[in-house]
Amino acid sequence: MSTPALTPPRQPLFSRLPVVSHLKKSVGLQRGMLIVGVVLSGLFILTSIFAPLLAPYGYSQLSDGSGSFPTQEAPSGKHLLGTTVGGYDVLSRVIWGSQTALAVIVVSVVMSLFLGVALGLLSGYFGGWLDRILVVVADAIYAFPTLLLAIVISIVISRGQSSFWGGIFSCAFSITVVFVPQYFRVIRAETIRLKAEPFVESAKVLGASSLRIIGRHIFKNATRTLPLMFTLNASEAILTLAGLGFLGFGIEPTSAAEWGFDLNKALADTSSGIWWTGVFPGIAIVLTVLGLTLVGESINDLNDPRIRGRKRAGRTPAAPVTQSTPSEAGKP
Amino acid sequence: MTTLIEVPEAEPGIVAPKSKSKAGGGLGRYIVVRFFLIIPTVFILVTLVFFLMRVIGDPITASQGGRLPPDVLAQRIHDAGYDRPVLVQYFEYLGQLITGNFGTTITDRRPVVEVLTTFGAATLELSINALIVALAVGIPFGLIAAQHRDKTPDALLRFFAILCYATPVFFSGLLLKLTFSVWLGWFPVAGRASTRTELAMSALAAPSGIYWLDALRSGNFAALGDIAAHAVLPAIALGLLTAGVFLRLVRTNVIGTLGKDYVEAGRSRGVSEFRLVTKHAYKPALIPIITVMGLQIALMLGGAILTETTFEWKGLGYQLVQYLNARDFVAVQGIVVLLAIIVAVTNFIVDIIAALIDPRVRY
């Protein structure tokens, strides 16, 4: 993350972790953005972990001891955020929805990281016909509307709606197909750049195998931009999941709570002035994506010396940045 | 699409001095090479979508299975040729595509080409409206943010940009609908136009399908007002999605160019900060924006599907969802292939424009 030549004393692992090291580098506004992002993301993760404790009812619960829930009831003491057309408690579904979102993020990002990084390393290192084919295919997929591709794939996998894990995996896989080309492009470009570096050359001269060079020398250096991509893709994964749910290709309401699906059902309510069914799941999506994006955005800015604010340089920040650090941050 | 291509013709002044060397031939060659790169892109997507769709089974069973008796079903599958090997069907489909035949939908038995032309115009209209909103919001706000870098206006605008990205189109659409249609009653809730206008538009001879264009041509100004009222909310919902991207791009690039020596030289000669931003730093910052606009088209088409569903805007995206729900995969395949072609062609045009503006792009 920092310029390698200038950091001789190795700091403890904790302060070298992506977000922590960025927090130390940041000043003023950027620090504020990063902190807000970390807090929002933290809240999201905590909510999803403790959903069973936090939610007053189950996500598909329609009644309790005192009888069935009323439908389309305005927020009240018993149902803090009201109830939906189907008689679900809005607050409970918003809370449970975070669990679905987190599961999809984790599964999809892990799958696309694995595939994208592996393909990018192989393609960039070996080149040749494999590289050409992969680049053409990745470019074709990359340029295509992500949501459309995700719809087609989710239809193929789940043939519409499905159970909790079935739905999670089909959503996650649809998102993976969309993401792999992005990871692939970044890692491949880095690999090609690193391949020409002297340390790879010397490893080759010493007789290291291709596998060792890729795994040890290139992998570690090529994956610097991954924390950034991870956060940005996590937010995109939520948006894609919500989009799929909104169009009706997500997870069934009885299998899991999903914000996009709830918004779809809420759409019909708006014309009669019922706002609570749509506004709260929508806010949940916005806050989650906002948190993840703020983290990603801040990491991106802090990695880019042209954009980064300087820490107490002694001068006013209006002075142009004259440092000649080349910027290779993952910019599209 | 042709309206987009007119831009490069206005630019030859920039290219002309370079053509003394071999850059003129270089550009021609670049265009040809880039044009032929469209083919593999479209081909890969067509192949991908075709085989993905066939994994599910044949299109007729998918849409009619359970509704027809088995022998009728088998007869229809045989008539349509879906009982032949998949590879044979694949090559036949490719052959049909080359001749412009996208097949016939299964549920309502219309030629897919007809579906595409009827609903494509509505999507095009929505996208143009949204693009206008996106540029009108994104570029000026981006300039303001760059000028006030790291101060309050910049912070607020950057937050606004991230908020634009973080809000799904259907949620901003829902909020807009709730506020401006239901509570304030300023705009209609959904649709492209009221029924009367729609009837008037379809009664026209040779309609273009783009409502405001048709209304203007027929001089129907009452209809024009109606169309405009319907267009406002969807355009804002979809436009804001991309406005945030434009804002950030303009900001980052203008900040980059503001640090350049020639801007510093201008500043030392006493050029005002406002003029430096709007005159000196702005233009070179536009090049990356044009390049990214190609990718925005894809984002916008995806957003259009959601916007059209939110506002019942009867365009390609709305229709696509209807066909998906009916499991009419011939229609779905046709729409997806068309969108693939649109995306590939716009990226081609964008690359050419970028090459015309910045000769370094050509190789």
Task: Give bridge partners of residue A63 from the DSSP assignment.
Answer: A68
Please check whether residue B64 touches A, CB under 8 A: no
Nearest-Cα distance to chain A for B327, in Å, is 9
Q: How far is CA B189 from the centre of its chain?
A: 23
Partners of residue B255 in chain A, C-beta under 8 Å: 306-307
Considering the domain B114-357, what is its CATH architecture? Answer: Orthogonal Bundle (1.10)
Q: Per residue, what are the HEC states of A120-172? A: HHHHHHHCHHHHHHHHHHHHHHHHCCHHHHHHHHHHHHHCCCCCHHHHHHHHH
Cβ within 8 Å, pair A145-B166 = no
Q: Does the residue A12 lie in any domain?
A: no
Closest Cα to residue A145, out of A116, A174, A122?
A174
Q: Which residues of B touch A315 (CB under 8 A)?
A: none
- What is the per-residue pLDDT for A9? 59
Residue type, A100: T
Name the B residues in 146-165 with CB < 8 Å from any A CB.
150, 154-155, 158, 162-163, 165
Give the whole-angstrom CA distance, residue B315 versus residue A314: 58
User: Six-digit token pair at B36?
Assistant: 């032929």
Q: Which helix (H) or strand (E) holds A63?
A: strand A63-64
CB B40 to CB A263 under 8 A? no
d(CA B280, CA B144): 14
Determine contact: B139 vs chain A, CB below 8 A: no
Which position has the token pair 């650090």? A325
Give the bridge partners for A68, in sequence order.
A63
In a domain, A265, yes or no: yes
pLDDT at A318: 42
Positions in chain B short of pLDDT 50: 1-24, 363
Domain count, chain A: 1
CATH 1.10.3720.10 range(s) for chain B read 114-357
Tell me, yes or no, whether A318 lies in a domain: no
Name B246's Cβ contacts closer than 8 Å, sequence gap at least 6. B134, B135, B137, B138, B139, B142, B289, B296
Distance CA(A267)–CA(A271), nearest Å, equals 8
Per-residue pLDDT of chain A (332 residues; tens, 9 = 90+): 444 555 555 666 666 666 677 776 666 677 778 888 888 888 888 888 887 877 777 777 766 767 666 766 667 766 666 777 676 777 888 888 888 888 888 888 888 888 888 888 888 888 778 888 888 888 778 777 778 888 888 777 766 555 667 777 878 888 888 888 888 888 888 888 787 778 878 887 887 777 777 777 777 777 667 777 777 788 888 888 888 888 887 777 777 778 888 888 877 777 777 777 778 888 888 999 888 888 887 877 776 655 555 554 444 444 344 333 333 333 33
| Helix spans in chain B (H) | 2-9, 12-15, 23-36, 38-55, 59-64, 70-80, 86-98, 112-147, 152-166, 169-176, 195-202, 211-218, 221-258, 261-268, 273-275, 282-311, 316-325, 329-357
In a mutational test of the B interface, the residue from A148, A271, A303 whose CB has the highest number of chain B CBs within 10 Å is A148
Give pLDDT, residue A325. 36
Question: Are the CB atoms for A185 and A120 separated by under 8 Å?
Answer: yes
Give A80→chain B minimum CA distance, Å: 20
Q: In whole angstroms, give the CA distance from residue B283 to residue B330.
A: 46
Q: What is the pLDDT, as a whole number, of residue B359?
A: 65
Task: Give the torsion through C-alpha atoms of B192, B193, B197, B203, to 10 deg.
Answer: 10
Neighbours of B269 (CB within 10 A): 7
Residue type at position B247: L
Instruction: Identify the domain containing residue A139 by its residue range.
Output: 30-56+79-303
Query: Which pLDDT score is estimated for B318?
Result: 87
Please check whether residue A249 lies inside any domain of the structure.
Answer: yes
| A73 belongs to a structural domain | no
Residue A281 C-beta-side C-alpha neighbours within 13 Å: 38
B244: tokens are 């945030």
CB atoms A290 and B55 under 8 Å: no
Q: What is the pLDDT of residue B25?
A: 57
Cα B149 to its chain centre, rounded Å, is: 31
CATH of the domain at A101: 1.10.3720.10
Check A278 against B178: CB less than 8 A apart: yes
The pLDDT of residue A331: 35
How much is the pLDDT for A31? 79
The pLDDT of residue A307 is 54
Please give the structure tokens belonging to residue A115: 């595939």
Give the model's pLDDT for residue B38.
80
Dist CA B43 CA A284 (whole Å) = 39
Q: Which residue from B331, B360, B343 is spatially nearest to B294, judged by alpha carbons?
A: B343
Q: Do B150 and A309 touch (CB under 8 A)?
A: yes
Nearest-CA residue of chain B relative to A273?
Answer: B182
The verdict on a CB contact (< 8 Å) between A278 and B40 is no
Q: Find tokens 């506002």 and name the residue.
A: B311
CA–CA dist B71, B56 (Å, integer): 20
B214 vs A39: CA distance, rounded Å: 51
Q: Under an 8 A CB cutoff, do A136 and B332 touch?
A: no
Going by C-alpha positions, the residue among B170, B128, B165 that lies closest to residue B306 is B170
What's the whole-model pTM score?
0.78
Locate the chain B residue with the closest alpha carbon to A240.
Answer: B168
